[in-house]
Structure 1
Amino acid sequence: MFFQHVYDKSLAQASYFIGCQAKGEAIVIDPQRDVDVYLSIAKQNNLKITHIAETHIHADFLSGSRELSVVTGANLYLSDEGGEDWQYQFPHTGLLHGNIMKVGNLTLEVLHTPGHTPESISFLLTDHPATVDPVMVFTGDFVFVGDIGRPDLLEKAAGMTGTMEKGAKQMYESIQRFAELPEYVQVWPGHGAGSACGKSLGSVPSSTVGYEKIRNWAFHYQDNEEGFIRYLLEGQPEPPKYFAMMKHLNKVPRPLLIEVPRHPKLTKNQFLTAYNNGLKVIDTRNKLDFAKGFIPGSINIQGNNSLSTWAGWLLNYQEQFLLVAEDSQIEELTRKLMRIGLDNIYGYVSNIEDLDLSLQTADLIDIETFKSLQGKEGVQVVDVRGLNEYDAGHIAGTKHVFVGTFPDNLDKIDPNKHVIIHCQSGDRATIAYSLLKRQGFKNVSNFSGGMKEWVDKENPIV
C-alpha cells in the first residue's frame, strides 16, 4: 500500500493519497483545489488516480474533487446520506453507510458519522494483502486529534436555524459507535491545529482510536449526553464569514479551475487606473514594512498562513482586488487564495514606491506610550481578538470588536476619539488599523506589542 498525507498549513487542512501499488490504482480523499500536487504524486509513484472521495460538503475550503476528476477521469464518490437537503447537486457515485469502495487490493468501508454535518461520512481502510482487519480510518471533520468537529457551523456560518442542537445529539451518537472500532486503528483527520472547525485540535497529524479514547475530551462524556452537548457547543471560535460561501460552492455546479492561474504584474498606469476605479488593495507585506509606508486605503493582510482566513473574512467574492506582493510570492499567494475560491485577483505590484502615490505611515506605539494614554478622556482602546480570548482575560476598560467583523461593527468605534487598537501580538491589530484608516478614521494608533507584551510584563488583566 502507498500512503501520503498532504497538508495545507494555511488552512490546517489534510488530504490523503492512498494507492494499491500491485494494481496501480489510487484514491484521493478531500483534495485541495490546486490539484497538481496529487498529479505529481501519482506520476512519481506510477499510480493512476481512479477514485476521488469526500468526507462531507466542506465549509472551510473549496474542494478540488471536481477539478481532479476532470483532469484524471476518476470517478467522484460522495455521500448520499443526511437527507434531501444534504445532497451534492452534481453527478457523482453516491455513498451510503456500509458501502465498500475497492481500490486495487484495498477496500474502504463507508461509515455514516453525522454530527458536524448530517451527511458526514468516514472511510475505514483495510489493506487486504497484509490483513483482513481495518488499519486506518479517515474521519474528515468528525474526530480530530484531541477534539471533535463542531456542529454549530451550519447555524452560525450558513444561517441554518435549528441545526446546532440536532447536530450535537448526532455527534454524541456517532462518538459511541466510533469507540467500538479496534483501538489499534490509525485515525487520520481532515484538520489540525489552527482550523476553525474545532476549538482544541492537536498539532500531531494522526492518532489511534485507543489514544483518542484516553486523551480526547469527547470520550470522557460517553455516559453524559447533556454534559457532552453543553461542552461541545460552548467556547467555539467565530466561524469565518466565507464558510457560508464554501458550503454553497462545494454543493452546487460551479466553474472549475484546473490549473493555478498566473496573474499579471501591473504597470504603474494599469495599477493606478484600477486603484482609482475603486478596486481594493490587499497589501501582503510584513506588518512592519506596511507600517513604514502604505498605499492609502490598502488593507494589510500578511502573506503568511493566515492570509486565506482573513481574506475570506474581509473580501467580497463578487469583486476584483489588487495585491501588493513580491514576484517570488505571487504563486504561493494565488494558491492560498484559490483554495477558498478567491479567484478575482486583477493583478499585482511589487514596489509601491514606483507608483507616485503619497504613502501613509502607521502610528505604532510602545507599551509605555499606551499606558500614558490608557483611561484618558477622548481615548478608546479596542481589543480585536476573538471573543473567547477576550473573555479569558483583557485589559481593563477595553472595547471588544473582533477584527473579522470590523466592517459590520464600525458604529462601535468612535471616530471622534483617539482609537488605540491591539490584539495578541500585532498581526490582527495591523489588519484592524488598516481597515480603520481605509474608513477615514484620522486618529488611530496600534499598540503592536498587544496582550502578549502586556502579560509578559506582568500587567493586570480582568
Structure 2
Amino acid sequence: MLLERIYDEDLSQTSYLIACQASSEAIVVDPRRDIRVYLDLAAQHGLRIVAVTETHLHADFLSGVRELAAATGATAYVPGTGGEDWQYGFEAERLMDHDTIALGQITLTARHTPGHTPEHLSYLVTDGAFADEPGYILTGDFVFSGDLGRPDLLDEAVGMENTRFTGAKQLFASLRDVFLRLPDHVQVFPGHGAGSACGKAIGSLPSTSVGYERHFAWWGKHLKNDDEQGFLDELLDGQPDAHAYFARMKRQNQEGPALLGERVTPREVSAEELARGMDSGDLALVDTRPVAEVHAGTVPGALHIPMLSKAAGHLAWAFDPDTDEAQLVVLAPDAARAAEYGDHFVRVGIDALIGYLPTLEGLPSVAPSVISPAELAELIEAGEAGTLIDVRTRTEHAGGTIPGAQQLSSGKVLFRQSELPEPDAGQIITFCQSGLRNTVAASALRRAGYDVAELEGSYAGWARWREA
C-alpha cells in the first residue's frame, strides 16, 4: 500500500493519495482544487486515479473532488449521510455508514462520525496484503493531533443557530461509538494541521494514533469518565473566530465548485492597462511585496497580500467574488510566479486572476497611513482616537488589547462593514499582533473607501512602547 500526505501550508489542509501498488489503482481523499499535485504524484508512481472522495462539506477551502474526477475519469464519492439538508448538489456516488471503496487489495470503509458537521465521514483503511482489519483511519475534521474538529462552525460561519450544542454531543458520541472502539495501534491521519481555524489547538504532528489520543488528548479524561457535560464545556470554550468567507465555501462545495479545466497562463499587463482598469473598477491589483516596501508606497486601492505561502487565506479575507466583479492582476516577476498565486487563489474559489505586472513603474504611488504607538497614545488621552479596530481573534483580544479598541477579526472586517462607521465618518486605526494580518485587512478597507491608519508594530509594538 502507498499512502502519500499532501499538505497545504497556506490553509493548513491535508489531502491523501492512497494506492494499491499491485493494481496501480489510487484514490484521493479531500483534494484541493488545483489538482496538478495529484496528477504528478500518480504519474510518478505509475498509478491511475480511479476514485476521489472527501470527508465532509468543507468550509475553509473549495473542494477538488469534481475537478479531479473530471480530469481523470475517476468515480466521485461524497457523503450521503447527515440528512436532507446536507446532501451534495452534483452527481457523485453517495456513501453511507459502513459503505466501502475497493482498490485492488486496499479497502476504505466509510464511518459516519458527525459532530464537526452532520454528514461527516471518516475512512478506515485496510491493507488486505498484510491484514484483514483496518490499520489506518483518515479522520478529516473529526480527530486532529491533540484536538477535535470544532462543532460551532455552522453557527459561526453559516449563520445557523445553536447547532454547536448538537454538534458537540455528536462528537462525544462519535468518539465513544466509533473512534475509541478501534485498537490503539490504528494510525490516525487528520485533515488539518496547526494554524487551521477548524479547531482551537490543533497539533503540528502530521499523524497520531488512536491509543495516543485516547491516553493523552485533552478529551480523553472526559470519555474515560463518561463526563459528557465536562466534555461539552471544554470543547466549546475558546473556539477561534471563523472567517467570513467560510459561508461561501460551504455553499459552493454543496452546490458543486465550478470546473476549471485547462487554466490559462496569466498574461503580462501593462501599467497603462492596469491604470485604466483600476479607474473603471474592472481590475484590481494585488501587491505582493513585504509590508515595509508597501508602507513606503503602493498603488492607491491596491490589495496587499504579502506572503505567497498564505495567499489563499489572505485574499479570501480581502476580496469577495460574490460581490466583486473585478479581475485580478498580481505584482509578480513573470507568468510562472503569477500562476503560483493563481493556484492559491482557486483553493478559495477566487478564479479572477488574469495577469501579472512585473513592476509598479509608471503607476501612481502613495504611502499608506501609519501611526506610531506614541501618537496613538496622545489621541487616546485626548479622546480623539476615533474608531480603533483590533483585527486579531476574540481570544487574542480578550487576553489584552488597546484601550477603546473593538474586536473585528481580519477574516471578517471586509464582510462586516455594518459594524464600522461610514467610510466618510473619519479615520479608522487598525492593528493585529505583529502587523501582517493588519496590512491585509487595512488594504481591503482602503479599497472599500475607508480612511485607514495602521498602527506601527501593531499590538506587539504598542506593548513594547508601553514597557519602554
TM-score, normalised by the number of residues in structure 1:
0.92
2:429 paired with 1:420: yes
Shift of 1:214: 2.5
User: In structure 2, what is the equivalent of residue 94 of structure 1?
Assistant: 94
Q: Which runs of 5+ in 1 are unaligned?
A: none
Shift of 1:162: 4.2
Cα deviation digits, residues 289-344 of structure 1 (max 9, x gap): 11111111222222333322232233221422333321353122101100111001
User: In structure 2, what is the equivalent of residue 306 of structure 1?
Assistant: 310
Contact map agreement 2:127 2:134 (CA 8 A) in 1? yes
Cα deviation digits, residues 398-457 of structure 1 (max 9, x gap): 333333333434764586666433210011222343345445555x54223222344456
**What letter is aligned with 1:272?**
A
Shift of 1:253: 4.0
Sort the Cα spacing of 1:13 and 1:456 in 2 relative to 1 into closer, same or farther, 3 A. same
User: In structure 2, what is the equivalent of residue 52 of structure 1?
Assistant: 52
User: In structure 1, what is the equivalent of residue 293 of structure 2?
Assistant: 289
Distance 1:202 1:455 in 2: 28
SS at the partner of 2:261?
coil
Distance 2:240 2:55 in 1: 22
Contact map agreement 1:320 1:346 (CA 8 A) in 2? no
User: In structure 1, what is the equivalent of residue 251 of structure 2?
Assistant: 248
TM-score, normalised by the number of residues in structure 2:
0.91
User: In structure 2, what is the equivalent of residue 109 of structure 1?
Assistant: 109
Distance 2:42 2:90 in 1: 26
Sort the Cα spacing of 1:261 and 1:232 in 2 relative to 1 into closer, same or farther, 3 A. farther
Distance 1:364 1:334 in 2: 30
Q: Which moved more, 1:171-180 or 1:316-325?
A: 316-325
Sort the Cα spacing of 1:255 and 1:409 in 2 relative to 1 into closer, same or farther, 3 A. closer
Sort the Cα spacing of 1:228 and 1:260 in 2 relative to 1 into closer, same or farther, 3 A. farther
User: In structure 2, what is the equivalent of residue 82 of structure 1?
Assistant: 82
User: In structure 1, what is the equivalent of residue 11 of structure 2?
Assistant: 11
Sort the Cα spacing of 1:295 and 1:119 in 2 relative to 1 into closer, same or farther, 3 A. same
Q: 1:375 aligns with which of 378, 381, 387?
A: 381
SS at the partner of 2:235?
helix
Distance 2:314 2:28 in 1: 28
Distance 1:195 1:16 in 2: 17
Q: 2:456 aligns with which of 445, 448, 460?
A: 448
Q: 1:343 aligns with which of 330, 333, 351?
A: 351
2:200 paired with 1:199: yes
Sort the Cα spacing of 1:455 and 1:210 in 2 relative to 1 into closer, same or farther, 3 A. farther
Sort the Cα spacing of 1:419 and 1:85 in 2 relative to 1 into closer, same or farther, 3 A. closer
Cα deviation digits, residues 51-91 of structure 1 (max 9, x gap): 11111111111111111111111111221111111111222
2:366 paired with 1:360: yes
SS at the partner of 1:294?
coil
Shift of 1:220: 2.5
Distance 1:175 1:412 in 2: 42
User: In structure 2, what is the equivalent of residue 431 of structure 1?
Assistant: 440
Shift of 1:360: 0.8
Sort the Cα spacing of 1:154 and 1:183 in 2 relative to 1 into closer, same or farther, 3 A. same
Contact map agreement 1:66 1:256 (CA 8 A) in 2? yes
User: In structure 2, what is the equivalent of residue 208 of structure 1?
Assistant: 209
Distance 1:156 1:399 in 2: 18
Structural mapping, 1:317-332, within 5 Å: 317-318=321-322, 319-328=325-334, 329-332=337-340
Shift of 1:132: 2.2
Q: Which moved more, 1:229-238 or 1:104-113?
A: 229-238
Identity %: 40
User: In structure 1, what is the equivalent of residue 242 of structure 2?
Assistant: 239
SS at the partner of 2:94?
strand
Sort the Cα spacing of 1:172 and 1:38 in 2 relative to 1 into closer, same or farther, 3 A. same
Shift of 1:281: 3.0
Sort the Cα spacing of 1:99 and 1:168 in 2 relative to 1 into closer, same or farther, 3 A. same
**What letter is aligned with 2:147?**
D
Q: 1:402 aligns with which of 409, 425, 430?
A: 409
Contact map agreement 2:56 2:120 (CA 8 A) in 1? yes
Sort the Cα spacing of 1:432 and 1:33 in 2 relative to 1 into closer, same or farther, 3 A. closer
Contact map agreement 1:320 1:345 (CA 8 A) in 2? no
Sort the Cα spacing of 1:173 and 1:406 in 2 relative to 1 into closer, same or farther, 3 A. same
Q: Which runs of 5+ in 2 are unaligned?
A: none
